[in-house]
Chain A
Amino acid sequence: MSPRRTPSGGRVNRLRTIRFTFDGTAYTGHQGDTLASALLANGVSLFGRSFKYHRPRGVLTSGVDEPNALVTVLRGEVREPNIPATMVEIHDGLTAVSQNRFPSLAYDVSAVNQLGGKFISAGFYYKTFMGPVIGPLKGTRFWMLCEKIIRRAAGLGRAGHAPDPSRYERMNAFCDVLVVGSGPAGLAAAHEAAQSGAQVILAELDPCFGGSANWSGETIDGEPAATWASDVVGELKTHDNVRLLKRTTVWGYYDGNTLAAVERVSDHKDTPAKGAPRHRHWTIRARKVVLATGAFERPLVFPGNDRPGVMMASAAMRYANQYGVLPGEKIAVLANNDSAYRAMAALAKAGARIIAIADLRQDVSAACRKLANDAGAELLTGHAVISTEGGKKLSGVKLAPFSATSGVSTGNARDIGADCLIVSGGWSPTIHLASQAGARPVWSDDLQAFLPPETGKGWIGAGAFNGNFSTAEAISEGFAAGRNAAGQPALETTALPDIEPAPLDPNPAPVFEIKAKGKAFVDFQHDVTADDVRLAHLEGFVSVEHLKRYTTLGMATDQGKGSNVPGLAIMAEALGKPIPEVGTTRFRPPYAPVSVGALAAERFGDLKPERLTPMHDWHLENGATMYSAGLWFRPMIYGGPGETIEQAYVREAQATRETAGIVDVSTLGKIAVQGPDAAEFLDRVYSNVFSTLPVGKARYGLMLREDGLVFDDGTTWRLGEHDFLMTTTTANAGKVMQHLEYFLDVVWPDLKVHLTSVTDQWAGAAIGGPKAREILASCVTGTKVDNEALPFMGIVHGEISGAPVMICRLSFSGEMAFEVYSGAGHGTHVWEALIEAGRPFDMVSYGLEALGTMRIEKGHVTGAEIDGRTSARDLHLGWMLSKKKPFIGSAMMDREGLSASGRLELVGLISLDNRPLSGGAHIVEEVDAANPHGSLGHITAACFSPALGKYIALALVSGGKARYGKRAHISDPLRNRFGPVEIVSHHFFDPEGKRMHG
């Protein structure tokens, strides 16, 4: 048996031994142990080093509020830092290490930081990293070096670099009543709500339900409280309308009664069940929430209060009663309230020796005196602990008479030997979630604590959360809250169970600090002392929000669960104001740290949503290098062996212009615009006229935004009198749809038009080149494709290899070209038939690079030029602005700024040094590499043009046309590329369009 494990008692299974390691040493514990309880049972008292001063630290608490005993859990290469040892369930193979120590926990070189005294005091980072403003080190890199060293010395655990292979999941849930916390109050509430038939979720952050019932040592109706709790849980399990979530921390309370929780599904297991996540993130929408989140016991602030062996009284009781572990053998007590006496009694019962009780109060009730007497402890009223002794482990404490009014000791000190000091500074209700939901806490002078307001809009509180700390109150309030939350009328009388023993007085003396010499910690995790708080005040910080940021009090991973109120009290005293006037900070999510994996869940890697065209697999099988365009995947090139990207696209573009090429255009946005007002609607949204378009023809259209700038372009096909098929650019498909829907819904609800995204209905193949028509003619049946049947911008219907197709003769490449649309499910079939038909003509398949090259040669614009700053005239598309009708953007497009001279206009560039140009490079009149300036504009797209045999680019250049034929230079200091270019028309190739008209 381990040195500190009691022979019996507690809720651990002594028959089941579990093996784990801490800092490389092998230990055993039992089923039901946390890492903290198992290590304490093994006599371990040193758990970690502190944040700034590297002081030795032990375990202060037994739960989620633990500030000191943070460990890193190792899973193979994956490190998870900053986990409270109190929240780690041990399992076979668990490997944990301590943090913030070098080279080892026991011998830490940075512990000399302690000797520096005020060296790392409040606002240290703000002061230090400014660097010296005078003196010899001013403006040198010396401080940057110091910063590195200091930042390394101060800190918590180190995150790893290995990718986390664990599975994380998200889950959505809806319920009538969410009960947060499963102590007596929560169980009573869940029970009542479940009885009424409501859908209930009960969330408990610990591995077992019952909360304080597991360690209070009380009896309920003659049974141990834990038995009562497991009976209630057993009954809840029989209800279909109840979902029980253990190991689940509700960490956020958001608008609309939406709560966020994280369930640690597999952390307590060596290997997760197949397919089970490590963490499951719950988003719970609850009609009503019952907050039964309990309360935290507060530490007292006194010199040496951080020494390993100092522990919260309630935590010590929990270790004894729930885990069968004695945190010490010779125990001293320091308290300002009655609750510590209950803890002391439990420890005495479990076999520890209680040496002395220092009670800060002069008057102590008879009930407490009796408990002290029964435990054989010396009771010293009006006494305080003014320091603690020992190195890495408590060996004794100094007791002295104490005045609660002055906060200082008033007489001679006395040393007593003790290996554990249990402390109680009163209780703070766990109001975090209510505060997140917007509740303003109310200060209670009696309880010396912030309480929640009576109820919130979406929640009802119960038990210790409300500041009612007895189990009887918890159960009675829980019943009432459960009924209320389920929409049931309140009962006039409720039969409540009998609870033993009777409650003690919950009100503490209003003392938070014992002022004496030595470092007295307020925030253990961030190493903030009482003197730091006072220093902040002396330096002029009066707002509690500023105090918090300046001292970093309450900003560590425990979010100040124990330190907020003592910190506030010390600040209030310094300001000479009562605590409620100083106010408290609002709690923000998360209530406790949440793994990033749980938040990201499945949305990364292979499970990220992606869009594939119908011919995707064909592209892969035929050597395409894929390129992600938004969520879509498109072929970039179909590279041959040893081919560079440039060689591949030049070959593809050249072959298309010489014979024929085919490209997958299925990603183009396609919107069905249907209804009797469809033509009128298109007239309003496009800058040019569509109502005159005959059925069976397509037209290129331009859309402006309301502010008169260009929005998108594409062709729209009139398939019927009331039936149009609009195409948009791939990138803007969603935006255009939303834009059109907005106008139909909000601005012109009287128009009879329906819009439907049919992007995925159609597979699109564009086939272009001098041989395109011949190829098409050889495989299309049911229609002719000659110039008469299928003129430029004409549409015909036919079949290819048995599949219905719709063919429109339009061209992006500048060649004689056709877009062949078929049902997406027939896309590959039709594509393969076209490839087959093209084989005798050496037709190539080409990718986005060749597509881009041919469009640059033709001077067609895309998203690179339609960049949200260009007008139609800037892009030489002024001819598309109808003067016959108003349209979206027409009122704003002629504004002064949009028709001013000197705007950037679309031009072509030819590289005069035969070197590549690249997008983003600036255009200047004269190169000044040392001091680049005088930009006339920039390159939007560049390529090697096989048609011209030159490197060319499209650019937006001030003055535009006026510069045709002139020389300029590109200036690209980032890539160190400078060189001469000639400014030309953007129509590089076949400006009359002879090729596409055939």
Chain B
Amino acid sequence: MGEQLSPLEPIFRPGSHGNFVDGVGVTLSEIAPGSIVQLAAWPGEEKKLMAAIGSVTGLKLADGAGAGASSDRYAAFGFAPGKFLVSDASEGLATTFAGKVAAATGTVTDLSHGRTAIRIAGPRSEWVLAKLFAVDFSLPAFSVGSGISTTHHDVFTQIQRSGPDSFDLYVFRSFARSFWKMLCHASDEVGYEVR
């Protein structure tokens, strides 16, 4: 069975909102990838796991904390030592990885239903996100492709910079509606478009 019901459904209002008279500062959208998978390597096995990610997604991850990359279909980034979040526009990624990651290398955990992916893009993205997270979003500190784990109040969030002014946010599904409300509220000031 495909199509998941979005937790944002009843409050998702496409169109322009807030103070948009001088143009919208950010665009908010739900990415709704088909798959979100967490991969975790045993200590010392990180390279093998990264190779598996490369072989499935074609994404080459650099060494180092938070390194990541994305393509039209896939996105991947490190969010904790030896741990990576990988998303795929299509379903079934967890099954694919289950066949590619040996028990001796690490584990595969399907989070396709457990996380909601939201994209914020536009010239004021850094400004809006800085309201919610105590993290430096400037480009020198947070490069394109890389990822982090952080928290807004109780809402644990994994963030990948998907472009110079675009960020993909992965939040727990149960918090997604609440988080979306906060994000819209924070975006009011700069004007935002939902699509």
Direct contact of A and B (CB under 8 A): yes
A804 close to B130 (CB less than 8 A): no
Chain B residues 99-157 with CB under 8 Å of chain A are 103-104, 106-107, 109-115, 130-131, 133-136, 138, 141, 152-155
Chain B residues 33-78 with CB under 8 Å of chain A are 38, 40, 42
Instruction: List the A residue with the shortest CB-CB distance to B127.
Output: A171
Q: Does A613 contact B (CB under 8 A)?
A: yes
Q: Does A366 contact B (CB under 8 A)?
A: no
Contacts of A823 in B (CB 8 A): 4, 112-113
Decide yes or no: A614 and B5 within 8 Å by CB, A674-B109, A752-B42, A758-B114 being known contacts.
yes
A826 close to B138 (CB less than 8 A): no
Q: How far is the CA of A827 from the CA of B172 in the complex (A)?
A: 15
Q: Which of A199, A610, A631, A754 has the most CB of B within 10 A?
A: A754
Q: Does B188 contact A (CB under 8 A)?
A: yes
Contacts of B107 in A (CB 8 A): 674-675, 722, 754
Contact stretch, chosen from A75-83, A113-121, A271-279, A331-339 = A271-279
Q: How far is the CA of A631 from the CA of B175 in the complex (A)?
A: 9
A631 close to B154 (CB less than 8 A): yes
A609 close to B109 (CB less than 8 A): no
Instruction: List the B residue with the shortest CB-CB distance to A761.
Output: B114
Q: How far is the CA of A170 from the CA of B133 in the complex (A)?
A: 9
Decide yes or no: A602 and B182 within 8 Å by CB, A174-B138, A752-B42 being known contacts.
yes
Contacts of A608 in B (CB 8 A): 178
Give A762 Cβ to nearest chain B Cβ, in Å. 7
Decide yes or no: A760 and B185 within 8 Å by CB, A609-B178, A614-B5, A824-B113 being known contacts.
no
Chain B residues 1-41 with CB under 8 Å of chain A are 1, 3-7, 9-10, 18-19, 21, 38, 40
Give B192 Cβ to nearest chain A Cβ, in Å. 9
Instruction: List the B residue with the shortest CB-CB distance to A169.
Output: B131
Give A275 Cβ to nearest chain B Cβ, in Å. 3
B135 close to A761 (CB less than 8 A): no
Interface 1/0s, chain A 266-285, versus B by CB < 8 A?
A: 00000001111100000101
A610 close to B178 (CB less than 8 A): yes
A754 close to B40 (CB less than 8 A): yes
Contacts of B3 in A (CB 8 A): 825
Contacts of B6 in A (CB 8 A): 825
B10 close to A758 (CB less than 8 A): no
Give A105 Cβ to nearest chain B Cβ, in Å. 38
Q: How far is the CA of A828 from the CA of B113 in the complex (A)?
A: 13
Q: Does B96 contact A (CB under 8 A)?
A: no
B103 close to A758 (CB less than 8 A): no
B130 close to A758 (CB less than 8 A): no
Number of interface residues of A (CB under 8 A): 55
B130 close to A172 (CB less than 8 A): yes
A722 close to B136 (CB less than 8 A): no
Q: How far is the CA of A617 from the CA of B110 in the complex (A)?
A: 25
Q: Does B161 contact A (CB under 8 A)?
A: no
Interface 1/0s, chain A 162-193, versus B by CB < 8 A?
A: 00000001111110000000000000000000
Q: Which of B18, B179, B185, B187 has the most CB of A within 10 A?
A: B185
B4 close to A761 (CB less than 8 A): no
Interface 1/0s, chain A 598-625, versus B by CB < 8 A?
A: 0000110011111111100100000000
Contacts of B195 in A (CB 8 A): none
Give A109 Cβ to nearest chain B Cβ, in Å. 47
Q: Does A488 contact B (CB under 8 A)?
A: no
Q: How far is the CA of A823 from the CA of B116 in the complex (A)?
A: 13
A607 close to B182 (CB less than 8 A): yes
Contacts of A285 in B (CB 8 A): 134, 136
Q: Does A139 contact B (CB under 8 A)?
A: no
Contacts of A760 in B (CB 8 A): 113-115, 172-174
Instruction: List the A residue with the shortest CB-CB distance to B188.
Output: A275
Give B30 Cβ to nearest chain A Cβ, in Å. 12
A754 close to B106 (CB less than 8 A): yes
A756 close to B109 (CB less than 8 A): yes
B174 close to A613 (CB less than 8 A): yes
A761 close to B181 (CB less than 8 A): no
User: Which residue of B103, B135, B182 contacts A722 across the interface (Cβ within 8 Å)?
Assistant: B103
Q: How far is the CA of A829 from the CA of B6 in the complex (A)?
A: 12
Give A912 Cβ to nearest chain B Cβ, in Å. 44
Contacts of A762 in B (CB 8 A): 113-114
Interface 1/0s, chain A 306-333, versus B by CB < 8 A?
A: 0000000000000000000000000000
Q: Does B190 contact A (CB under 8 A)?
A: yes
Give A339 Cβ to nearest chain B Cβ, in Å. 42
User: Which residue of A170, A609, A752, A828 contacts B131 across the interface (Cβ within 8 Å)?
Assistant: A170
Grouping DSSP codes into helix (H, G, I), strand (E, B) and loop, the A interface class, with mixed when no group exceeds half, is mixed
Contacts of A602 in B (CB 8 A): 182, 185-186
A761 close to B111 (CB less than 8 A): yes
Give A673 Cβ to nearest chain B Cβ, in Å. 10
Give B105 Cβ to nearest chain A Cβ, in Å. 11
Instruction: List the B residue with the shortest CB-CB distance to A170.
Output: B131
Contacts of A675 in B (CB 8 A): 42, 103, 107
Instruction: List the B residue with the shortest CB-CB distance to A672.
Output: B109
B112 close to A617 (CB less than 8 A): no
Decide yes or no: A283 and B134 within 8 Å by CB, A676-B103, A754-B106 being known contacts.
yes
A612 close to B7 (CB less than 8 A): yes
User: Which residue of B18, B152, B174 contacts A612 across the interface (Cβ within 8 Å)?
Assistant: B174
Chain A residues 252-294 with CB under 8 Å of chain B are 273-277, 283, 285
B5 close to A825 (CB less than 8 A): yes
Q: Does A694 contact B (CB under 8 A)?
A: no
B109 close to A758 (CB less than 8 A): yes
Decide yes or no: A603 and B153 within 8 Å by CB, A172-B135, A825-B4, A828-B5 being known contacts.
yes
A274 close to B18 (CB less than 8 A): yes
User: Which residue of A171, A607, A758 contacts B181 across the interface (Cβ within 8 Å)?
Assistant: A607
Q: How far is the CA of A617 from the CA of B11 in the complex (A)?
A: 11
B1 close to A614 (CB less than 8 A): no
B110 close to A609 (CB less than 8 A): no
Give B181 Cβ to nearest chain A Cβ, in Å. 6
Interface 1/0s, chain B 157-195, versus A by CB < 8 A?
A: 000000000000000111101110110011111110000
A172 close to B5 (CB less than 8 A): no
Contacts of B179 in A (CB 8 A): 609
Give A670 Cβ to nearest chain B Cβ, in Å. 9
Q: How far is the CA of A273 from the CA of B109 in the complex (A)?
A: 46
Contacts of B19 in A (CB 8 A): 273-276
Decide yes or no: A611 and B178 within 8 Å by CB, A761-B111, A824-B173, A828-B5 being known contacts.
yes
Chain A residues 197-220 with CB under 8 Å of chain B are 199
Give A838 Cβ to nearest chain B Cβ, in Å. 20
Decide yes or no: A606 and B181 within 8 Å by CB, A171-B131, A760-B113 being known contacts.
yes
Q: Does A759 contact B (CB under 8 A)?
A: yes
Q: How far is the CA of A273 from the CA of B190 in the complex (A)?
A: 10
Q: Does A934 contact B (CB under 8 A)?
A: no
Contacts of B135 in A (CB 8 A): 172
Q: Does A993 contact B (CB under 8 A)?
A: no
Give A777 Cβ to nearest chain B Cβ, in Å. 20
Q: How far is the CA of A672 from the CA of B190 in the complex (A)?
A: 40
Instruction: List the B residue with the shortest CB-CB distance to A632.
Output: B174
Q: Which of A173, A273, A275 has the most CB of B within 10 A?
A: A275
Contacts of B153 in A (CB 8 A): 603, 609
Contacts of A827 in B (CB 8 A): 5
Contacts of A758 in B (CB 8 A): 109, 111, 114
Instruction: List the B residue with the shortest CB-CB distance to A799.
Output: B1
Give A352 Cβ to nearest chain B Cβ, in Å. 45
13 intermolecular pairs with C-beta atoms under 8 Å apart: A275-B190, A276-B19, A609-B178, A609-B179, A612-B177, A612-B178, A722-B103, A754-B106, A756-B109, A762-B113, A762-B114, A802-B1, A824-B114
Q: Which chain B residues have a beta carbon within 8 Å of chain A's beta carbons? A: 1, 3-7, 9-10, 18-19, 21, 38, 40, 42, 103-104, 106-107, 109-115, 130-131, 133-136, 138, 141, 152-155, 172-175, 177-179, 181-182, 185-191
Nearest first, the 8 closest Cβ-Cβ pairs linking A and B are: A825-B4, A275-B188, A761-B114, A823-B113, A275-B189, A274-B19, A611-B174, A174-B136
Known contacts A603-B153, A609-B175, A825-B113; can you find 4 more A-B pairs with CB under 8 A? A277-B189, A606-B181, A610-B178, A759-B114
